[in-house]
Structure 1
Amino acid sequence: MTSTQTRQGSDFAELSKLVKDAGLLGRRRKYYAVKISLNLLAFAGGWVAFAHLGDSWWQLFLAAFFAMMFTQLSFIGHDAGHKQIFRGRKANDVTGFVHGGLTGLSYGWWIGTHTRHHANPNHEDEDPDVNLAALIFTKAQGTERRGFLRWMAKYQAFLFFPLLLLEGLNLHVSSVTAIFQRGFKRRKLESALMLAHIAAYLTAVFVVLSPGVGFVFIAVHQCLWGVYMGCSFAPNHKGMPTLSAGHKLDFLRKQVLTSRNVRGGRVVDFALGGLNYQIEHHLFPSMARPNLKHAQVIVREFCAKHGIDYAQCGWAASYGHVLRHLHEVGAPLRAQPAGAR
């Protein structure tokens, strides 16, 4: 190991000590007890209001409310998957499975894909979040697209937000597909949770609502949930440097240089579920959500001291970076004559 690699390797150890000495790696059980209780209370209250309102087009406002609640519940599942809530895996997994069941997502599938993302963020071969059928994130990926997917890649910056309308459906389909793959762990449990979710959801909708209102309710709910989920995760890495095989970055620089924070105070903290502190989250994935904002001060100063670029911008600006990047990597496809491959 070279002296440069040794120095860089020790940088994260130095930063970890600063964060640990500040008491930021401890659990925040009271915070999560209140957060989870309020979420479940609001979620249950929404269904009570749903039953009370009956067969009415006013239910579409509740569809938007449930889109918000599904995302907030998903944030708790995310935190449980990172062992942010409890120290032990079992209690976190119970929390994760329950919240996965409430939202119709496979907790086990999410753990698998998200762990791979954290290990190699924005890696063109190893990060599942930059290997999507509907979008490309490098110019090299564009050369592999054919037919309709190639056309989509050309204009993906314009299609990005419309595509998010389908993200909720994509999450459900991906969850169901994963459960029935060979070797999937806890298949019986996840299958039961998924079936219970689908049965309860569809029963509630079509017992209370007429078919026409019911189908529109489902469409509005699932589409807005997809947009909210996509808008929560997209600003974090999209438009940041993409890594390839053989890169020489150490853990600290790999996580910081591929991530982007979103500023905005308490409103953004709530809306993005703490994911706006993406740099700190990637460096310390098991750190409890409310501690991330305190760790940011330490991490940002540390990066400035060591000459490491630290990306942070407002929420709107973050989407500007995302859209510009998507448009840029699609440029070579748009420059080719029609029919060219």
Structure 2
Amino acid sequence: MGATKSWTRDEVAVRILAGEHLIVFNGHLLRIPSSWLDAHPGGALAILHFVGRDASDEIEAYHLDQTLTLIPRYSVGRVELTDDAWQPLVPPVMSGWVRKPSADGKSTEWFSEAAPQRSAVDTSLSPSSQILLVSKDDNDCHAAPDRAALEPPPTSLSLKVQTNHSQAYKLLHKRIVDAGLYKTPYLTGYGPEVLRYILLGCLSAYAYHHSWFITSSVFLGLMWHQLVFSAHDLGHMGVTHNWAIDRLLSILIADFIGGLSIGWWVENHNIHHIVTNHPSHDPDIEHLPFFAISSAFLSSLWSSYYKRTMWFDRFAKIFVAIQHRLFYIVMLFARFNLYANSYTYLYKKAFDTRRARGGRWAWGLEVIGLAFFWWWFGRVLYGCGSWQTALAYLLVSHAVTSPLHVQIVLSHFSMSTADLGPTESFPHRQLRTTSDVICDESIGFIHGGLHLQVTHHLFPRLPRHNLKRASALVKEFAQEQGLTYAEFGFFDGNAEVIGVLRGVAEQVKLMGKVANVEAKEAIEKRLAQKKFT
């Protein structure tokens, strides 16, 4: 990193307000050009969430070694540290500000897509550091963010302590690397899995050939359930560690065999990992009108990922009030929601002239893959003989995959959704918002090894079959740093999630009762006024 200029915090803030994308990496200031922001394989939001912040841990966790060697070219100098730590700024996107093309199309300008709502109290559920996004006021005439918008709200976290966590995490990462845990166990890990996929596929075809359609649908659903684990690994570049090869393989599995867009999943999942459990930014907990795992959602929050307001309207009130009873029913049909998100993503990308690296060929191959999926799966349904049997085949095959969706939400729905601000370190945030699902090693394959979500969130590129060994090191790290490593049994985890859903549902019911009482009092008051007039 050749640049020698030393940047102060105020100088960085001025440049950010001028529209530059500046992030801190190992004491250096990186200027990310708009051209790379658009071409970033992890999506633009993955970068925007770290403008003005130290992204050292996240960058090293998510990028291959050969990619890290390219980063120095973006350095514009070093930053001035306070007690060996960078005092973070609030990324504009987290206050509702984004850059959009100007009217002449030759430059970009600030655009307010939502209004920041800073917490007026300081509780565990709504800390003083929290910034949520809501629909902006049409009368808001601010043309650009000001200096105050970049200043973090008060936080209970110590920057020094968080820096210590970060430094300890770097040492932990080195231990993981030195232990050889990034080496993919092709034969011992994926060998048995490939055999399992083939067996389930053959059993489904055999049953279908003998007109045992429901049995066939069960085995097909089980194959999809198992295949998604490998698609997940490939999306994280955790198999061959080569972006092009992993993307090709993941398209084959996810699109051609599973009917889902791996491109959508990677973009969605990257953001989930970066801003885990943040109500305004993590798409994996934004499920209105069906679920709300925090009372924050009752304020009709804006989603920076979906670019829309998640309205807590009459429809949402009905569902959220009984969400703890509908949870498993909705999970049975969760795969259909994945279809909707996949196809919406690919449709939008068809009109995106600034696709990420490899986006053009990958997009085209995905479209071909989805067409192929519905060709072969459509023939399967048509061959069932009647629409009733075809419908049953469709529903059963998709419902069989539901335990996967339940498992994934167990690791997050019961954890904290509070925003502790940009001061919070990467390891602190992941341990606070993520938990493991405890299971016997003999049945770990049912969960695909992803029941070890804490370790996976700390080291997303780590081959899934090495998570067990790595988790022992992570537990030592957590104990040494005074951090909580959360883990629940499968049934206890379900109870925790249902408890969270029931808690929010009861708040909705209480709000309804209060509203009814207030409405009744207002009517009585009005009638009394008419009586005396």
Aligned residue in 1 for 2:250: 96
Considering only aligned residues, what root-mean-square deviation do their CA atoms show, in Å?
1.9
Aligned residue identity for 1:244 = D
Aligned residue in 1 for 2:345: 178
Aligned residue in 1 for 2:239: 85
* 2:386 pairs with 1:210: yes
Counterpart secondary structure, 1:313:
strand
Provide the rounded CA distance (Å) in 1 between the counterparts of 2:448 and 2:470.
16
Aligned residue in 2 for 1:136: 292
Provide the rounded CA distance (Å) in 1 between the counterparts of 2:399 and 2:204.
19
Aligned residue identity for 1:159 = L
Aligned residue identity for 1:99 = I
Displacement of 1:20 in angstroms is 2.0
Provide the rounded CA distance (Å) in 1 between the counterparts of 2:442 and 2:213.
26
Aligned residue in 1 for 2:216: 62
Asked whether the equivalents of residues 201 and 220 of structure 2 are also in contact (C-alpha less than 8 Å), the reply is no
Provide the rounded CA distance (Å) in 1 between the counterparts of 2:202 and 2:376.
16
Alignment size in residue pairs? 337
Displacement of 1:141 in angstroms is 0.5
Displacement of 1:40 in angstroms is 3.8
Aligned residue in 1 for 2:439: 264
Aligned residue identity for 1:80 = L
Aligned residue in 2 for 1:113: 268
Asked whether the equivalents of residues 268 and 276 of structure 1 are also in contact (C-alpha less than 8 Å), the reply is no
* 2:319 pairs with 1:168: no
Asked whether the equivalents of residues 201 and 219 of structure 2 are also in contact (C-alpha less than 8 Å), the reply is no
Asked whether the equivalents of residues 39 and 73 of structure 1 are also in contact (C-alpha less than 8 Å), the reply is no
Provide the rounded CA distance (Å) in 2 between the counterparts of 1:172 and 1:199.
15
Counterpart secondary structure, 2:488:
strand
The one of 414, 419, 422 equivalent to 1:239 is 414
Which is worse superposed, 131-140 or 2-11? 2-11
Deviations 1:165-191 (A, max 9, x none): 221111112211211113264332211
Higher-Rg member (1/2): 2
Which is worse superposed, 237-246 or 277-286? 237-246
Provide the rounded CA distance (Å) in 1 between the counterparts of 2:421 and 2:466.
34
Aligned residue in 2 for 1:74: 228
Provide the rounded CA distance (Å) in 2 between the counterparts of 1:8 and 1:298.
15
The one of 491, 501, 515 equivalent to 1:340 is 515
The one of 183, 201, 217 equivalent to 2:377 is 201
Unaligned runs of 5+ in 2: 1-84, 86-158, 301-311, 517-533
Provide the rounded CA distance (Å) in 1 between the counterparts of 2:492 and 2:202.
35
Displacement of 1:99 in angstroms is 0.6
Provide the rounded CA distance (Å) in 1 between the counterparts of 2:371 and 2:325.
36
Aligned residue identity for 2:225 = T
Identity of aligned residues (%): 24
Aligned residue in 1 for 2:179: 22
Aligned residue identity for 1:307 = G
**How high is the TM-score relative to the length of structure 2?**
0.60
Aligned residue identity for 2:489 = G
Deviations 1:91-135 (A, max 9, x none): 111110011120110010001100100111111121111112221
Greater relative contact order, per chain length (Cα 8 Å cut-off, separation 6+): 1
Provide the rounded CA distance (Å) in 2 between the counterparts of 1:179 and 1:43.
29
The one of 191, 194, 203 equivalent to 1:37 is 194
Aligned residue in 1 for 2:96: none
The one of 438, 451, 455 equivalent to 1:276 is 451
Aligned residue identity for 1:95 = L
Asked whether the equivalents of residues 236 and 275 of structure 1 are also in contact (C-alpha less than 8 Å), the reply is no
Provide the rounded CA distance (Å) in 2 between the counterparts of 1:259 and 1:127.
13
Displacement of 1:59 in angstroms is 2.1
The one of 388, 407, 424 equivalent to 1:249 is 424
Higher strand share: 2
Provide the rounded CA distance (Å) in 1 between the counterparts of 2:481 and 2:420.
25
Provide the rounded CA distance (Å) in 2 between the counterparts of 1:238 and 1:29.
33
Unaligned runs of 5+ in 1: none
Aligned residue identity for 2:267 = G
Displacement of 1:244 in angstroms is 2.1
Displacement of 1:251 in angstroms is 0.6
Counterpart secondary structure, 1:330:
helix
Aligned residue identity for 1:148 = F
Aligned residue in 1 for 2:147: none
Provide the rounded CA distance (Å) in 2 between the counterparts of 1:197 and 1:116.
27
Counterpart secondary structure, 1:77:
helix
Provide the rounded CA distance (Å) in 1 between the counterparts of 2:387 and 2:263.
33
After the TM superposition, list the runs of 4 or more consecutive aligned residues in structure 1 that deviate by more than 4 angstroms. none
Asked whether the equivalents of residues 32 and 85 of structure 1 are also in contact (C-alpha less than 8 Å), the reply is no
Q: 1:293 to 1:324 in 2, by over 3 A?
A: same
Counterpart secondary structure, 1:180:
helix
Displacement of 1:30 in angstroms is 2.0
Aligned residue identity for 1:17 = K
Displacement of 1:205 in angstroms is 2.4
